[in-house]
Chains A and B, each alone.
Chain A
Amino acid sequence: MEDIIINNLDYPVLTVSTFLPLAGALIILFLKRGPFIKWFALATTVATFIVSLPIYKHFDKTTYKMQFVEIHSWIPAWNINYKVGVDGISILFIILVTILSILCVSVSWKAIQIKTKEFYISLLIMETAMIGIFLSLNVFLFYLFWELTLIPMFLLIGVWGGSQRIYAAVKFVLFMLAGSVLMLVGIIVLYYAGGKTFDILELAKVHYPTELQLWLFLAFFAAFAVKMPMFPIHTWLPDAHTEAPTAGSVILAGVLLKMGAYGFLRISFPMFPHAVKVLFIPLLILSVIAIIYGAYVTLMQKDMKRLIAYSSVSHMGFVTLGLFTLNQNGIEGGMLQMINHGVITGALFLCIGMIYERTHSRMIEDYGGLSKSVPVYIVFFTIFTLAAIGLPGMNAFVGEFLIISGAFKANMIIAAFSILGVVLGVCYMVWLYYRIALNEINTTTQASLFDLDSREIATLIPLVVLVLLIGLQPNILLSYMHVSVEHLLEQVHNSVQLESINAYDTINSIAGYIKALFKWV
């Protein structure tokens, strides 16, 4: 066991961070309904954040090894362990989850009026599931947490959502299940092919036959691509985001979409390097299609929330573009961009949620001249708009810059197209800003508008700080990733050099696999 570092703190920090929200949820179950519940939920999320802080303090940035690892035997008959650990790839997601969870409780303070108890229970269970995914070092455990996110999310959309909530919730769950069923098949095949173990690190050491790699990659791809969501399986997203309550949208955009990308990094890349390289160009093309296509669709949205939702398709296209470049700039940029997207899109959903709470309209045409009617609000909205369009000095610029520089190394033409996406991104955000913030005040919603209160300002300020901090000092986050990403790239590239697989080979091997498929059928 040379590639892990056993937890040497005096308490199991990862397990505590994971299950503290669940414990909180259980306690809320026995509490009386009343305002105390939200205070308790807030306390739980803040406590989780504080408990997780030692992870960053004691994290060793100089090694790719899994740290703070805890192993307990769980189902010995099938060789299933409870094994959790953290490395440079997963560590930043933990802080993203813990911060966003606090903000989600805060933003729901007044917005959620019915079944508050159940709401906060769902939210806390969700937090446990999300942290669990990023810490699991066992595929079985990973799958368990993966599926666990569905239940609270289904409830969050279906119970506290907008007018179309039932449709959106059902659609969301069906999409997710379709993907994860294939992943389950993949996991079972992996279990036998990898020597009857579910241990992620052990499975990554095995060299699988090329053909098997491709099938396994596709099985996992189904689950990950739906979550991202990649084009063309993205249409659950606008519905789910739009209908979900603000907290739900923030979690969806902030964390849920990143689970897919994390899956690629944790499972697909190290275990199926050959398959990734065979599909390298198609995956890049798919990413660029998502970027441009998503941006075009975004441009025409009339509903603010839907607009931001669709923009996620485009932004996640950038993330996948970065990951599939298979070089350090691209992957680190992609990972940074995941955090950035969580911060910015989360913030924009919060902003829209706040204004929706007042006017009960999400339609762009109902707004105008907000700069005049709600000046404090618009300061925040301006900052997040500028961040979203990738203004230098703010976080998204660094991510996009790294991704595009990586993409240029991978394939110049594809990379040049992705820049078109950046410009379209400016178009839809500036146009949105122009319509709601500038011009004359729109009288439709004017009466019910009032500026932000201190709770709302306090909710948004941490995100402003993150936007500027990452934008000005990206090394703070990037330094956590380096060694792990380098190790990951070694795993990907050590078997076959990327250059040796040219486009001809790609087409040939795909044709071969299709033939094999027919034979098999």
Chain B
Amino acid sequence: MITGNIITDFCLLILFLPLLAFAINIFFGKRLPRQGDWVSVGSVLITLILSLSLLMNMFMNWDANFSYEAQFSWIDLGAFKVELGFWVDNITIVMLAVVALISSMTHIFSLEYMKGDIRYSRYYAYLGLFTFSMNGIVLANNLVSLYIFWELVGVSSYLLIAHWFEKHSAADAGKKAFLTNRVGDIGFFIGIMLIFTAIGSFNFQDVFAGVSQGMISGTLLTLAGVGLFMGAVGKSSQFPLHIWLPDAMEGPTPVSALMHAATMVAAGVYLTVRLFPLFSPEALTIIAYVGGFTALFAATIAITQNDIKKVLAYSTVSQLGYMILAVGVGNYVAALFHLLTHAMFKACLFYGSGSVIHAMHHSLHELHDHDTDPQDMRNMGGFKTKMPITHWTMVISTLAISGVPLFSGFLSKDAILAGSLAFAQHHPQHFLLPVFGFGAAAITAFYMFRLIFMTFHGEPKLPKVFEGIHESPKVMTFPLMLLAGLSFFIFYTLPYFNPISDHGWFTELIKAGDSVAPGNPTAHEIYDGVHHAHYPAMALSLLVAGLGIGLSYLMYMKHKFSAENWARKMGFLYKLSLNKYFFDENYNRFLYQPLLKLSRAVAYLDWDLYDKYFINGFGRVTNLLSKITGRIDYDGLDQILVDGVGRSVRRLGKQLKQVQTGRLQNYMLFALVGLIIILVIQTI
């Protein structure tokens, strides 16, 4: 039994071991044997063991209300305190296990995939930094820690996407991911501050208590909720900030599996789940619509993509939309459930695509062909015989994501669809939400099987390349097999064996809490609704999944319909989908370019107008003034007045000079005249 301080110790170890690996590898990685990869792999395997023992402990306790909190002070201004800490409950434990598992698999998979990379040790260092930050998000017990690790995750994602930064597209994608995430974080930060200003604490429990006491309510609460959700929109790549995730596929494929499929992008979902109690009904409606729309919207893009990783990327966006939709309709346990199952099968799909790309790379490398795109599915076909393990594991995870019974995705997807259906039954005006959900389910089944058929079945498109294709080595197939195994229903329904009901350890141990925001239904009411909608939803979801798979089979296996013909017939829609609805172009034209123009204008205003004319104008005016005063002073005062005095004195002197003749007779005459005048005056 693990309790109290030991949990704190475990959490600290889980948190800081990957950071230690990061520090060791970033400073000494290159000097260590094998460039230090064993340091990272070792540390992450230890965290896996620790996380699994916490998970075992959870099973042994079997306590749905388990909760543990530990914290220490970080900023202390007396009245204003920020405390960082852990909040460990069953949700945390499950998430820790997911992060540790997928992270370990990625570390192992990369041993072969990244072999010979020029920045091998740095790659492993960044993986450690990511694992540290992701665990930080999971463990956070307050909004500040959450935000701190949120940003750190963003940075490690940036560093890993731009790992091959010599490639222009990779450097671009990193920048795009970072900035797009930051846009979402504006809202996140405003939300945090609104809540803090109203309630005066960052701690989750205090915040929930504050909301239930009505310290923040009405529009302000909705605003705060939408703000916080904006963070999730950025990180979980929801519409309209979904643009960065497909580009992020420029990063190494194991990174895509770990961060851009299983864990980091799920952080947004985790955030909404954690903060679910404080969302107001209005905020939840917005959340539901954003999620539902994203689910359908991204699925329609995935249909036409030819890059194997791009298909998976849009599929991830779509699946994350599902989870967000589930939170929005109040069924957040289902969201978390789908997060868990999705992490397994989506990581498996990404490793599978990595395995295919790896094989393509080697084959092309041997042919000295540097022009053929190793990720384009139009260059593949028939790989089934050459790569049996990759093929079968990918088929299993595809069945899971399509929602076929006996597989994990069926259970979680069904719960989400039932939730949206129940929500629409209560609020008929929101009938669009289940339409989004079921529509996306049909399309998902279609494009995922399209991927399988195009890659593994049919005739090889490039026979020469096909010759060189080999199954990947064991370090790469092992994670594939493990995760494919975890895509079966049994691991999620234990101790029960009913493949069509999600009832199991997960639903028993992870209980939905009531919302504290006024106006929301209780967890019990939501659960009841979901329960009632369960069977209709299941029937419908089976139907749509069958439709999608069937259509895909006929189109890409049997070639009953020609995909090209359909594309031509629906030219406009096809183009929209292929070009991702022109989002990048429009953002560029309507947001990015105007921003640049605006800053250019402001810079021009500041420097070329304000400084040159106004500020330097002071100088010029002063110059002018001094010139004028100079002229007045010199021409006026000096030349006329001052010199004028001199001139008149001189003139006087000149005139008086004439009197001074030097002749004695004249002087005598003057003296005589003067004497006479004086005498005359005296006598009068």
Contact = CB atoms under 8 A, between A and B. Distances in A.
Given A235-B611, A420-B186, A423-B186, A297 B606 contact: yes
Contact of A235 (B147, B194, B615): B615
Interface in B532-558: none
Interface in A378-427: 386, 391-393, 397-398, 401-402, 404-405, 408-409, 412, 415-416, 419-420, 422-423, 426-427
Contacts, number: 120
A interface SS class: helix
- Which of A372, A415, A438: most chain B CB closer than 10 A? A438
Given A297-B606, A392-B152, A438 B75 contact: no
Contacts of B189: 404, 419, 422
B152 A423 contact: no
Contacts of B603: 296-297, 299-301
Nearest to A485: B77
Given A300-B599, A392-B148, A422-B189, A235 B197 contact: no
Contact of A482 (B77, B595, B619): B77
B572 interface: no
Contact of B602 (A297, A404, A405): A297
B162 interface: yes
Contact of B77 (A329, A409, A439): A329
Nearest to A174: B619
Contacts of A422: 186, 189
A186 interface: no
Contacts of B599: 296-297, 299-300
A419 B595 CA distance: 17
Contacts of B73: 475
B376 interface: no
B500 interface: no
Contact of B171 (A419, A427, A439): A439
Interface string A320-334: 000000001100100
A439 B166 contact: yes
Contacts of A238: 607
A440 interface: yes
B166 A328 contact: no
B581 interface: no
Contacts of A474: 74-75
Given A235-B610, A329-B77, A474-B74, A438 B165 contact: yes
Contacts of B175: 430-431, 434
Contact of B182 (A300, A371, A409, A426): A426
A405 B77 contact: no
Contact of B80 (A328, A420, A434, A439): A328
A369 B603 CA distance: 27
A164 B185 CA distance: 41
Given A293-B602, A405-B193, A412-B194, A430 B178 contact: yes
A147 interface: no
A500 B14 CA distance: 52
A419 B148 contact: no
Q: Which bracket fits the contact residues of A?
A: 35 or more
A371 B75 CA distance: 35
A432 to B, nearest CB: 11
B615 A412 contact: no
A232 interface: yes
Given A293-B602, A299-B599, A423-B186, A415 B615 contact: no
Nearest to B196: A405
B99 to A, nearest CB: 19
A431 B185 CA distance: 18
B165 A439 contact: yes
B183 interface: yes
Contacts of A438: 162, 165-166, 171, 174
Contacts of A482: 77-78
B190 interface: yes
A404 B192 CA distance: 11
B399 to A, nearest CB: 40
B564 interface: no
Interface string B144-166: 10011101100100000010011
Interface in B420-469: none
B370 interface: no
Contacts of A416: 190
Contacts of B168: 439-440
A212 interface: no
Interface string A357-376: 00000000000010110000
A410 B174 CA distance: 36
Contacts of A402: 75, 77
Nearest to B185: A423
B602 A415 contact: no
A296 B75 CA distance: 31
B193 A369 contact: no
B90 to A, nearest CB: 27
B598 interface: yes
Contacts of B144: 401
A390 to B, nearest CB: 8
A4 interface: no
Contact of A392 (B76, B151, B610): B151
B503 to A, nearest CB: 40
Given A332-B77, A423-B183, A478-B76, A372 B193 contact: no
Given A235-B610, A297-B599, 20 more contacts: A174-B619, A238-B607, A297-B607, A299-B595, A301-B603, A329-B77, A392-B147, A392-B148, A393-B152, A397-B148, A404-B189, A405-B193, A408-B197, A419-B186, A423-B182, A423-B183, A438-B166, A475-B75, A478-B76, A482-B77
Closest 10 CB pairs of A and B: A392-B148, A300-B603, A438-B165, A438-B171, A299-B599, A296-B602, A235-B611, A296-B599, A408-B193, A408-B197
Interface of B: 73-80, 144, 147-149, 151-152, 155, 162, 165-166, 168, 171, 174-175, 178-179, 182-183, 185-186, 189-190, 193-194, 196-197, 595-596, 598-600, 602-603, 606-607, 610-611, 615, 619
11 contacts: A235-B606, A297-B602, A300-B603, A397-B148, A405-B196, A405-B197, A426-B179, A430-B175, A434-B175, A478-B76, A486-B78
